[in-house]
Amino acid sequence: MSANFKNPVVRWIDHRLPIFTFMHHEANEYPTPKNLSYWWNFGSLAGFMLVVMMASGIFLAMQYTPHVDYAFDSVERIMRDVNYGWLLRYIHMNGASMFFIVVYIHMFRGLYFGSYKAPRELLWQIGVVILLLMMATAFMGYVLPWGQMSFWGATVITNLFSALPVVGESIVTLLWGGFSVDNPTLNRFFSLHYLLPFVLLGVVVLHVVALHRFGSNNPIGIDTKGPQDSIPFHPYYTVKDLFGLGVFMILFAYWVFYAPVTLGDPDNFIPANPLSTPQHIVPEWYFLPYYAILRSIPDKLMGVIAMFASILVLFVLPWLDRSPVRSGRYRPAFKWFFWMLVFDCAILTICGKNAPDWIWSPLSFSIGPDVGQAGVSIITMGQLATTYYFGYFLVILPLLSIFERALPVPLSISRPVLGAGGAHAAIAQRSPKPMEKL
Protein backbone atom coordinates (compact mmCIF):
# COMPACT_ATOMS: atom_id res chain seq x y z
CA MET A 1 0.00 0.00 0.00
CA SER A 2 2.54 2.56 1.14
CA ALA A 3 4.54 3.92 -1.76
CA ASN A 4 8.26 4.54 -1.60
CA PHE A 5 8.86 8.25 -1.71
CA LYS A 6 12.39 9.50 -2.35
CA ASN A 7 11.99 12.92 -0.73
CA PRO A 8 12.74 12.54 3.01
CA VAL A 9 10.33 15.34 3.97
CA VAL A 10 7.56 13.66 2.04
CA ARG A 11 8.45 10.35 3.71
CA TRP A 12 8.43 11.94 7.15
CA ILE A 13 5.01 13.49 6.61
CA ASP A 14 3.58 10.47 4.90
CA HIS A 15 4.56 8.24 7.79
CA ARG A 16 2.47 10.37 10.12
CA LEU A 17 -0.22 11.57 7.71
CA PRO A 18 -0.42 9.23 4.71
CA ILE A 19 -1.73 11.91 2.39
CA PHE A 20 0.94 11.27 -0.24
CA THR A 21 0.21 7.55 -0.21
CA PHE A 22 -3.44 8.41 -0.58
CA MET A 23 -2.81 10.72 -3.54
CA HIS A 24 -0.47 8.23 -5.14
CA HIS A 25 -3.05 5.52 -4.74
CA GLU A 26 -6.09 7.46 -5.94
CA ALA A 27 -4.68 9.70 -8.65
CA ASN A 28 -1.51 8.00 -9.83
CA GLU A 29 -1.64 4.22 -9.77
CA TYR A 30 -5.46 4.14 -9.61
CA PRO A 31 -6.30 1.33 -12.05
CA THR A 32 -8.54 2.53 -14.87
CA PRO A 33 -10.07 0.50 -17.71
CA LYS A 34 -7.74 0.80 -20.68
CA ASN A 35 -10.54 1.31 -23.20
CA LEU A 36 -12.11 4.58 -21.98
CA SER A 37 -13.17 6.79 -24.88
CA TYR A 38 -13.11 10.58 -25.03
CA TRP A 39 -16.61 10.58 -23.59
CA TRP A 40 -14.88 9.83 -20.29
CA ASN A 41 -13.08 13.19 -20.37
CA PHE A 42 -16.13 15.08 -19.25
CA GLY A 43 -15.92 14.08 -15.59
CA SER A 44 -12.56 15.74 -15.12
CA LEU A 45 -13.73 18.67 -17.25
CA ALA A 46 -16.64 19.14 -14.85
CA GLY A 47 -14.20 19.16 -11.95
CA PHE A 48 -12.08 21.71 -13.80
CA MET A 49 -15.11 23.93 -14.38
CA LEU A 50 -16.05 23.80 -10.69
CA VAL A 51 -12.58 25.09 -9.82
CA VAL A 52 -12.77 27.79 -12.52
CA MET A 53 -16.18 28.93 -11.28
CA MET A 54 -15.10 29.05 -7.65
CA ALA A 55 -11.84 30.85 -8.41
CA SER A 56 -13.40 33.47 -10.70
CA GLY A 57 -16.38 33.83 -8.35
CA ILE A 58 -14.26 34.50 -5.28
CA PHE A 59 -12.51 37.37 -7.09
CA LEU A 60 -15.77 38.74 -8.45
CA ALA A 61 -17.24 38.73 -4.95
CA MET A 62 -14.43 41.04 -3.86
CA GLN A 63 -15.82 43.72 -6.19
CA TYR A 64 -19.53 42.99 -6.13
CA THR A 65 -22.05 44.78 -3.91
CA PRO A 66 -25.15 42.77 -2.96
CA HIS A 67 -27.60 45.62 -2.65
CA VAL A 68 -30.48 46.45 -4.96
CA ASP A 69 -29.22 50.01 -5.42
CA TYR A 70 -25.63 49.09 -6.21
CA ALA A 71 -25.56 45.53 -7.56
CA PHE A 72 -26.08 46.42 -11.22
CA ASP A 73 -23.60 49.30 -11.14
CA SER A 74 -21.03 47.27 -9.22
CA VAL A 75 -21.14 44.62 -11.95
CA GLU A 76 -20.69 47.32 -14.59
CA ARG A 77 -17.80 48.70 -12.55
CA ILE A 78 -16.23 45.24 -12.73
CA MET A 79 -16.76 45.30 -16.49
CA ARG A 80 -15.29 48.78 -16.98
CA ASP A 81 -12.91 49.79 -14.22
CA VAL A 82 -11.62 46.70 -12.42
CA ASN A 83 -8.37 45.37 -13.95
CA TYR A 84 -9.35 42.37 -16.05
CA GLY A 85 -12.73 42.47 -14.34
CA TRP A 86 -14.41 42.00 -17.72
CA LEU A 87 -12.39 38.82 -18.21
CA LEU A 88 -13.31 37.45 -14.79
CA ARG A 89 -16.95 38.18 -15.33
CA TYR A 90 -17.10 36.74 -18.84
CA ILE A 91 -15.31 33.63 -17.60
CA HIS A 92 -17.81 33.31 -14.77
CA MET A 93 -20.97 33.89 -16.80
CA ASN A 94 -19.91 31.74 -19.75
CA GLY A 95 -18.34 29.28 -17.36
CA ALA A 96 -21.81 28.51 -16.03
CA SER A 97 -22.90 27.53 -19.55
CA MET A 98 -19.74 25.50 -20.11
CA PHE A 99 -20.21 23.76 -16.76
CA PHE A 100 -23.71 22.72 -17.73
CA ILE A 101 -22.69 21.57 -21.23
CA VAL A 102 -19.95 19.42 -19.74
CA VAL A 103 -22.20 17.99 -17.04
CA TYR A 104 -25.03 17.27 -19.48
CA ILE A 105 -22.65 15.41 -21.82
CA HIS A 106 -21.23 13.59 -18.79
CA MET A 107 -24.75 12.51 -17.82
CA PHE A 108 -25.77 11.45 -21.32
CA ARG A 109 -22.57 9.40 -21.44
CA GLY A 110 -23.66 7.72 -18.20
CA LEU A 111 -27.11 7.13 -19.67
CA TYR A 112 -25.77 5.56 -22.86
CA PHE A 113 -23.14 3.32 -21.32
CA GLY A 114 -25.29 2.31 -18.35
CA SER A 115 -22.97 3.87 -15.80
CA TYR A 116 -25.89 4.11 -13.38
CA LYS A 117 -26.26 0.35 -13.10
CA ALA A 118 -25.09 -1.87 -10.25
CA PRO A 119 -22.78 -1.42 -8.48
CA ARG A 120 -22.70 2.30 -9.33
CA GLU A 121 -26.26 3.33 -8.35
CA LEU A 122 -25.13 5.52 -5.47
CA LEU A 123 -22.43 7.11 -7.61
CA TRP A 124 -25.14 8.07 -10.11
CA GLN A 125 -27.47 9.38 -7.42
CA ILE A 126 -24.74 11.52 -5.89
CA GLY A 127 -24.24 12.89 -9.40
CA VAL A 128 -27.91 13.86 -9.54
CA VAL A 129 -27.50 15.66 -6.21
CA ILE A 130 -24.59 17.54 -7.78
CA LEU A 131 -26.82 18.56 -10.68
CA LEU A 132 -29.49 19.85 -8.29
CA LEU A 133 -26.92 21.86 -6.34
CA MET A 134 -25.53 23.25 -9.59
CA MET A 135 -28.98 24.31 -10.69
CA ALA A 136 -29.71 26.08 -7.41
CA THR A 137 -26.32 27.80 -7.50
CA ALA A 138 -26.69 28.87 -11.13
CA PHE A 139 -30.19 30.22 -10.56
CA MET A 140 -29.15 32.32 -7.58
CA GLY A 141 -26.01 33.50 -9.34
CA TYR A 142 -28.06 34.73 -12.29
CA VAL A 143 -30.06 36.94 -9.92
CA LEU A 144 -27.00 38.76 -8.58
CA PRO A 145 -26.34 41.25 -11.45
CA TRP A 146 -29.87 42.53 -10.75
CA GLY A 147 -30.79 43.11 -14.36
CA GLN A 148 -34.31 42.81 -15.70
CA MET A 149 -34.05 39.08 -16.40
CA SER A 150 -32.37 38.49 -13.03
CA PHE A 151 -35.25 40.12 -11.24
CA TRP A 152 -38.09 38.64 -13.26
CA GLY A 153 -36.49 35.22 -13.44
CA ALA A 154 -36.21 35.25 -9.65
CA THR A 155 -39.83 36.37 -9.38
CA VAL A 156 -41.15 33.64 -11.66
CA ILE A 157 -39.10 30.79 -10.21
CA THR A 158 -39.62 31.64 -6.54
CA ASN A 159 -43.34 32.06 -7.23
CA LEU A 160 -43.47 28.43 -8.38
CA PHE A 161 -43.28 27.35 -4.75
CA SER A 162 -46.56 29.15 -4.05
CA ALA A 163 -48.25 26.32 -5.97
CA LEU A 164 -47.50 23.94 -3.09
CA PRO A 165 -50.59 23.42 -0.92
CA VAL A 166 -50.68 24.85 2.63
CA VAL A 167 -46.99 25.75 2.99
CA GLY A 168 -46.50 27.33 -0.45
CA GLU A 169 -47.06 30.97 0.47
CA SER A 170 -44.91 30.70 3.58
CA ILE A 171 -42.07 29.16 1.61
CA VAL A 172 -42.19 31.99 -0.90
CA THR A 173 -42.14 34.61 1.87
CA LEU A 174 -39.21 32.80 3.42
CA LEU A 175 -37.31 32.73 0.11
CA TRP A 176 -37.98 36.40 -0.49
CA GLY A 177 -37.34 37.56 3.06
CA GLY A 178 -40.36 39.79 2.59
CA PHE A 179 -43.37 40.12 0.37
CA SER A 180 -41.67 40.59 -2.98
CA VAL A 181 -38.30 39.96 -4.56
CA ASP A 182 -36.26 42.74 -2.99
CA ASN A 183 -33.06 43.55 -1.16
CA PRO A 184 -33.37 40.72 1.41
CA THR A 185 -33.81 38.27 -1.48
CA LEU A 186 -30.68 39.54 -3.19
CA ASN A 187 -28.72 39.33 0.07
CA ARG A 188 -29.68 35.78 0.87
CA PHE A 189 -29.17 34.66 -2.72
CA PHE A 190 -25.66 36.12 -2.64
CA SER A 191 -24.93 34.37 0.63
CA LEU A 192 -26.24 31.03 -0.65
CA HIS A 193 -24.57 31.47 -4.04
CA TYR A 194 -21.27 31.68 -2.18
CA LEU A 195 -22.10 28.79 0.15
CA LEU A 196 -23.51 26.16 -2.20
CA PRO A 197 -20.39 25.65 -4.37
CA PHE A 198 -18.52 24.53 -1.25
CA VAL A 199 -21.31 22.09 -0.44
CA LEU A 200 -21.07 21.02 -4.06
CA LEU A 201 -17.34 20.46 -3.66
CA GLY A 202 -18.04 18.19 -0.68
CA VAL A 203 -20.54 16.17 -2.70
CA VAL A 204 -18.04 15.96 -5.57
CA VAL A 205 -15.58 14.38 -3.12
CA LEU A 206 -18.24 11.79 -2.27
CA HIS A 207 -18.81 11.29 -6.01
CA VAL A 208 -15.12 10.55 -6.51
CA VAL A 209 -14.95 8.27 -3.46
CA ALA A 210 -17.91 6.31 -4.77
CA LEU A 211 -16.30 6.22 -8.23
CA HIS A 212 -13.04 4.84 -6.89
CA ARG A 213 -14.83 2.03 -5.07
CA PHE A 214 -15.48 0.11 -8.29
CA GLY A 215 -13.59 2.28 -10.77
CA SER A 216 -14.87 3.79 -13.99
CA ASN A 217 -17.40 2.08 -16.17
CA ASN A 218 -16.19 1.77 -19.77
CA PRO A 219 -17.58 1.77 -23.33
CA ILE A 220 -18.01 -2.01 -23.32
CA GLY A 221 -19.72 -1.93 -19.97
CA ILE A 222 -18.13 -5.06 -18.53
CA ASP A 223 -16.00 -5.14 -15.40
CA THR A 224 -12.23 -5.26 -15.50
CA LYS A 225 -11.21 -8.86 -15.05
CA GLY A 226 -7.62 -8.33 -14.02
CA PRO A 227 -4.49 -6.26 -14.46
CA GLN A 228 -4.45 -6.87 -18.22
CA ASP A 229 -7.68 -4.84 -18.51
CA SER A 230 -6.54 -1.71 -16.73
CA ILE A 231 -3.81 0.88 -16.85
CA PRO A 232 -2.70 3.34 -14.17
CA PHE A 233 -4.57 6.63 -14.23
CA HIS A 234 -1.29 8.51 -14.45
CA PRO A 235 0.15 9.12 -16.99
CA TYR A 236 -2.36 7.59 -19.39
CA TYR A 237 -5.53 9.36 -18.41
CA THR A 238 -3.91 12.47 -16.98
CA VAL A 239 -2.40 13.17 -20.40
CA LYS A 240 -5.58 12.21 -22.22
CA ASP A 241 -7.59 14.50 -19.95
CA LEU A 242 -5.03 17.23 -20.51
CA PHE A 243 -5.50 17.02 -24.26
CA GLY A 244 -9.29 17.04 -23.82
CA LEU A 245 -8.94 20.02 -21.53
CA GLY A 246 -7.02 21.86 -24.25
CA VAL A 247 -9.74 21.28 -26.83
CA PHE A 248 -12.39 22.28 -24.31
CA MET A 249 -10.57 25.45 -23.30
CA ILE A 250 -10.34 26.56 -26.93
CA LEU A 251 -14.13 26.34 -27.15
CA PHE A 252 -14.51 28.02 -23.77
CA ALA A 253 -12.14 30.81 -24.83
CA TYR A 254 -14.13 31.31 -28.00
CA TRP A 255 -17.23 32.11 -25.96
CA VAL A 256 -15.39 34.27 -23.45
CA PHE A 257 -13.52 36.38 -25.99
CA TYR A 258 -15.66 36.38 -29.12
CA ALA A 259 -19.25 35.72 -28.10
CA PRO A 260 -19.42 36.55 -24.40
CA VAL A 261 -23.07 37.61 -24.31
CA THR A 262 -24.49 35.42 -27.07
CA LEU A 263 -25.78 32.83 -24.62
CA GLY A 264 -27.26 35.49 -22.33
CA ASP A 265 -30.31 37.69 -22.62
CA PRO A 266 -29.83 41.32 -23.73
CA ASP A 267 -32.56 42.34 -21.27
CA ASN A 268 -30.15 41.69 -18.43
CA PHE A 269 -28.25 44.80 -19.49
CA ILE A 270 -31.26 46.79 -18.28
CA PRO A 271 -31.31 47.40 -14.51
CA ALA A 272 -34.05 45.53 -12.62
CA ASN A 273 -37.33 47.39 -12.66
CA PRO A 274 -40.21 45.89 -10.64
CA LEU A 275 -42.67 48.13 -12.51
CA SER A 276 -41.83 46.93 -16.01
CA THR A 277 -42.18 43.29 -17.00
CA PRO A 278 -40.11 42.08 -19.96
CA GLN A 279 -42.16 40.78 -22.85
CA HIS A 280 -40.74 37.25 -22.63
CA ILE A 281 -39.27 35.98 -19.42
CA VAL A 282 -36.94 33.13 -20.29
CA PRO A 283 -34.33 31.37 -18.18
CA GLU A 284 -30.78 30.72 -19.33
CA TRP A 285 -30.48 27.97 -21.95
CA TYR A 286 -29.50 25.25 -19.50
CA PHE A 287 -32.86 25.54 -17.73
CA LEU A 288 -35.00 25.66 -20.86
CA PRO A 289 -35.95 21.93 -20.97
CA TYR A 290 -37.30 22.07 -17.41
CA TYR A 291 -39.10 25.30 -18.20
CA ALA A 292 -40.74 23.62 -21.21
CA ILE A 293 -41.86 20.70 -19.02
CA LEU A 294 -43.25 23.14 -16.45
CA ARG A 295 -45.26 25.00 -19.06
CA SER A 296 -46.54 21.95 -20.87
CA ILE A 297 -48.76 21.01 -17.91
CA PRO A 298 -51.79 23.30 -17.69
CA ASP A 299 -52.07 23.02 -13.89
CA LYS A 300 -49.50 25.09 -11.98
CA LEU A 301 -48.95 22.60 -9.14
CA MET A 302 -48.77 19.64 -11.49
CA GLY A 303 -46.38 21.59 -13.71
CA VAL A 304 -44.07 22.27 -10.78
CA ILE A 305 -44.25 18.62 -9.76
CA ALA A 306 -43.48 17.50 -13.32
CA MET A 307 -40.54 19.88 -13.48
CA PHE A 308 -38.99 18.51 -10.30
CA ALA A 309 -39.94 14.96 -11.27
CA SER A 310 -37.91 15.32 -14.47
CA ILE A 311 -34.79 15.35 -12.29
CA LEU A 312 -36.05 13.16 -9.46
CA VAL A 313 -36.83 10.33 -11.90
CA LEU A 314 -33.07 10.05 -12.38
CA PHE A 315 -32.74 8.94 -8.75
CA VAL A 316 -34.70 5.76 -9.42
CA LEU A 317 -33.26 5.20 -12.89
CA PRO A 318 -31.03 2.30 -11.76
CA TRP A 319 -34.16 0.36 -10.85
CA LEU A 320 -36.17 1.33 -13.92
CA ASP A 321 -33.61 -0.06 -16.35
CA ARG A 322 -33.29 -3.73 -15.39
CA SER A 323 -31.37 -4.80 -18.48
CA PRO A 324 -28.28 -6.76 -17.40
CA VAL A 325 -26.26 -5.25 -20.26
CA ARG A 326 -24.71 -1.92 -19.32
CA SER A 327 -23.38 -0.49 -22.55
CA GLY A 328 -25.76 0.82 -25.20
CA ARG A 329 -23.34 -0.58 -27.78
CA TYR A 330 -24.82 -4.02 -27.28
CA ARG A 331 -28.43 -2.92 -27.02
CA PRO A 332 -29.77 -2.48 -30.57
CA ALA A 333 -33.20 -1.10 -29.61
CA PHE A 334 -32.08 0.94 -26.61
CA LYS A 335 -29.66 2.85 -28.84
CA TRP A 336 -32.47 4.35 -30.88
CA PHE A 337 -34.54 5.34 -27.89
CA PHE A 338 -31.46 6.87 -26.28
CA TRP A 339 -30.66 9.11 -29.27
CA MET A 340 -34.32 10.04 -29.46
CA LEU A 341 -34.04 11.15 -25.83
CA VAL A 342 -31.10 13.38 -26.75
CA PHE A 343 -33.13 14.79 -29.62
CA ASP A 344 -36.13 15.14 -27.31
CA CYS A 345 -34.10 17.24 -24.86
CA ALA A 346 -33.08 19.48 -27.77
CA ILE A 347 -36.76 19.92 -28.69
CA LEU A 348 -37.59 20.72 -25.06
CA THR A 349 -34.83 23.34 -25.09
CA ILE A 350 -36.33 25.01 -28.12
CA CYS A 351 -39.84 24.84 -26.62
CA GLY A 352 -38.60 26.44 -23.40
CA LYS A 353 -37.06 29.31 -25.34
CA ASN A 354 -40.16 30.39 -27.24
CA ALA A 355 -43.56 31.67 -26.21
CA PRO A 356 -46.08 28.81 -25.72
CA ASP A 357 -48.59 30.17 -28.24
CA TRP A 358 -46.02 30.60 -30.99
CA ILE A 359 -46.04 28.35 -34.02
CA TRP A 360 -43.11 26.21 -35.03
CA SER A 361 -42.96 25.47 -38.74
CA PRO A 362 -40.20 22.88 -39.05
CA LEU A 363 -40.08 23.13 -42.83
CA SER A 364 -39.21 26.81 -42.91
CA PHE A 365 -37.05 26.58 -39.74
CA SER A 366 -39.01 29.43 -38.29
CA ILE A 367 -40.66 29.98 -34.96
CA GLY A 368 -42.84 32.99 -34.27
CA PRO A 369 -46.30 34.34 -33.52
CA ASP A 370 -49.17 32.72 -35.36
CA VAL A 371 -49.28 34.26 -38.82
CA GLY A 372 -51.19 31.47 -40.45
CA GLN A 373 -48.26 29.31 -41.51
CA ALA A 374 -48.50 25.55 -41.18
CA GLY A 375 -46.86 24.20 -38.07
CA VAL A 376 -47.24 23.03 -34.52
CA SER A 377 -47.71 25.30 -31.53
CA ILE A 378 -44.84 25.39 -29.07
CA ILE A 379 -47.09 24.18 -26.26
CA THR A 380 -48.16 21.07 -28.21
CA MET A 381 -44.59 20.37 -29.17
CA GLY A 382 -43.56 20.74 -25.53
CA GLN A 383 -46.28 18.36 -24.40
CA LEU A 384 -45.20 15.71 -26.89
CA ALA A 385 -41.58 16.11 -25.87
CA THR A 386 -42.46 15.97 -22.17
CA THR A 387 -44.41 12.78 -22.78
CA TYR A 388 -41.44 11.18 -24.47
CA TYR A 389 -39.07 12.34 -21.73
CA PHE A 390 -41.03 10.62 -18.99
CA GLY A 391 -42.00 7.78 -21.29
CA TYR A 392 -38.33 7.00 -21.85
CA PHE A 393 -37.65 6.49 -18.17
CA LEU A 394 -40.97 5.14 -16.90
CA VAL A 395 -42.15 2.98 -19.81
CA ILE A 396 -39.51 2.38 -22.48
CA LEU A 397 -36.60 1.42 -20.22
CA PRO A 398 -38.62 -1.04 -18.07
CA LEU A 399 -40.11 -2.64 -21.20
CA LEU A 400 -36.76 -2.81 -22.97
CA SER A 401 -35.37 -4.62 -19.95
CA ILE A 402 -37.87 -7.37 -20.65
CA PHE A 403 -38.18 -7.51 -24.41
CA GLU A 404 -34.86 -6.38 -25.85
CA ARG A 405 -32.42 -9.02 -27.11
CA ALA A 406 -28.93 -7.71 -26.50
CA LEU A 407 -25.99 -8.42 -28.78
CA PRO A 408 -23.15 -10.64 -27.56
CA VAL A 409 -21.00 -8.85 -25.04
CA PRO A 410 -17.19 -9.23 -25.23
CA LEU A 411 -15.53 -11.57 -22.77
CA SER A 412 -13.07 -9.02 -21.46
CA ILE A 413 -11.79 -5.54 -22.07
CA SER A 414 -8.27 -6.54 -23.09
CA ARG A 415 -9.33 -8.83 -25.93
CA PRO A 416 -11.03 -6.28 -28.20
CA VAL A 417 -8.44 -3.66 -27.33
CA LEU A 418 -5.38 -5.82 -27.93
CA GLY A 419 -6.83 -7.98 -30.64
CA ALA A 420 -7.62 -5.06 -32.94
CA GLY A 421 -9.34 -6.54 -36.00
CA GLY A 422 -9.72 -10.17 -34.99
CA ALA A 423 -11.26 -9.40 -31.64
CA HIS A 424 -14.81 -9.01 -32.82
CA ALA A 425 -14.79 -12.38 -34.51
CA ALA A 426 -13.59 -13.97 -31.29
CA ILE A 427 -16.24 -12.43 -29.10
CA ALA A 428 -19.19 -12.92 -31.37
CA GLN A 429 -19.48 -16.57 -30.42
CA ARG A 430 -21.10 -16.02 -27.09
CA SER A 431 -24.74 -15.40 -26.37
CA PRO A 432 -25.75 -12.37 -24.27
CA LYS A 433 -23.98 -12.56 -21.01
CA PRO A 434 -25.73 -11.32 -17.89
CA MET A 435 -23.93 -8.74 -15.82
CA GLU A 436 -22.38 -10.16 -12.73
CA LYS A 437 -24.20 -8.67 -9.80
CA LEU A 438 -22.15 -7.62 -6.82
Q: Which residues bind another protein (CB under 8 A)?
A: 34, 37-39, 41, 73, 76, 79-80, 86-87, 90, 101, 105, 231, 235-236, 239-240, 242-243, 245-247, 249-251, 253-254, 256-263, 265-267, 269-270, 279, 285, 288, 346, 349-350, 352-354, 358, 365-369
Rg of the chain over CA atoms, in angstroms?
24
Minimum Å distance from CB 192 to another protein?
A: 27
Q: Catalytic site residue 284?
A: yes
Q: Catalytic site residue 216?
A: yes
Neighbours of 424 (CB within 10 A): 13
Residue tagged active-site, from 14, 229, 267, 284: 284
Minimum Å distance from CB 280 to another protein?
A: 8
Residue tagged active-site, from 240, 267, 327, 414: 240
Residue tagged active-site, from 25, 67, 212, 234: 212
Q: Catalytic site residue 241?
A: yes
In a 13 Å sphere around the CA of 332, the CA atoms on its Cβ side amount to 7
Minimum Å distance from CB 120 to another protein?
A: 22
Minimum Å distance from CB 389 to another protein?
A: 15
Q: Which is nearer to another protein, 188 or 353 (CB)?
A: 353
Q: Which is nearer to another protein, 206 or 417 (CB)?
A: 417
Minimum Å distance from CB 79 to another protein?
A: 7
Q: Which is nearer to another protein, 116 or 237 (CB)?
A: 237
CA distance 68 to 180: 13
Minimum Å distance from CB 207 to another protein?
A: 22
Q: Which is nearer to another protein, 5 or 269 (CB)?
A: 269
Q: Which is nearer to another protein, 164 or 231 (CB)?
A: 231
Residue tagged active-site, from 44, 74, 216, 296: 216
Q: Which is nearer to another protein, 132 or 249 (CB)?
A: 249
Active site residues: 212, 216, 240-241, 284
